[in-house]
Amino acid sequence: MAHESVNHNLIGGNFAAALNFAFKKLDYEVFIFQLRLWIPQKQIYTYPDVMIVAGKVECYKNRTDVILNPQVIIEVLSKSTKAYDRDDKFEAYRSIPTFQEYLLIDQNRIYVEQYSKTGKKQWALREYYEEDEVIALVTVPFEISLQELYNKVQFELVEPEAQSGDIEG
């Protein structure tokens, strides 16, 4: 996994905290950071920043540290992983039957890409980049303003460079 930055952690934490509050009486579970996702068709593990599971959580081989059935995945982009998150990782995620929505959040500027499944092999894209906008998830009942999402984020901070030997998440 890549080293997280302050901004990366703040954004992921802001999103997860708002989700947990919104879902406290609903049948959704929110998982953050160090929990693995197993993608059977690709035979790989990933470490999404935030995952939402609708209903019962399914774990790989009864392991409590590996999830199989996310409906929504949120990734906070870093310079070293953004191309992988947008391309190969998104392609792998699309092979998960329960996967319906994907958010990519830039940590260096106000910018969010939201992909939502509209049909078999069809995805719609919506972009957010104005401070007064509100992200409304399509597949679960949740909204968050960009101001809330980016609360306390300082864009002038420089994110860490990946070290040789680091495994990207």
Q: Looking at the domain assignment, is residue 64 inside a domain?
A: yes
Q: Looking at the domain assignment, is residue 1 inside a domain?
A: no
Q: Looking at the domain assignment, is residue 143 inside a domain?
A: yes
Query: Each residue of 18-56: pLDDT tens digit?
Result: 999 999 999 999 999 889 999 999 999 999 999 999 999
Q: Tokens representing 141?
A: 């009942």
Q: Tokens representing 4?
A: 């997280």
pLDDT reported for residue 151: 97
pLDDT reported for residue 162: 55
CA distance 75 to 47: 9
pLDDT reported for residue 167: 46
Question: At 126, which CATH number?
Answer: 3.90.1570.10
Q: Which range marks the domain in which residue 91 is found?
A: 6-149
pLDDT reported for residue 33: 81
Q: Looking at the domain assignment, is residue 154 inside a domain?
A: no
pLDDT reported for residue 159: 65
CA distance 51 to 67: 9
pLDDT at residue 169 is higher than 70: no
Q: Looking at the domain assignment, is residue 12 inside a domain?
A: yes
Is the CB of residue 149 less than 8 Å from the CB of residue 15? Answer: yes
Query: pTM of the prediction?
Result: 0.90
Query: Each residue of 78-137: pLDDT tens digit?
Result: 988 899 999 999 999 999 999 999 999 999 999 999 999 999 999 999 999 999 999 999
Q: Say which residues have a Cβ less than 8 Å from residue 60's Cβ, sequence separation at least 6.
A: 38, 66, 67, 68
Q: Looking at the domain assignment, is residue 29 inside a domain?
A: yes
Q: Looking at the domain assignment, is residue 156 inside a domain?
A: no
Q: How many domains does the chain have?
A: 1
Q: Looking at the domain assignment, is residue 168 inside a domain?
A: no
pLDDT reported for residue 2: 53
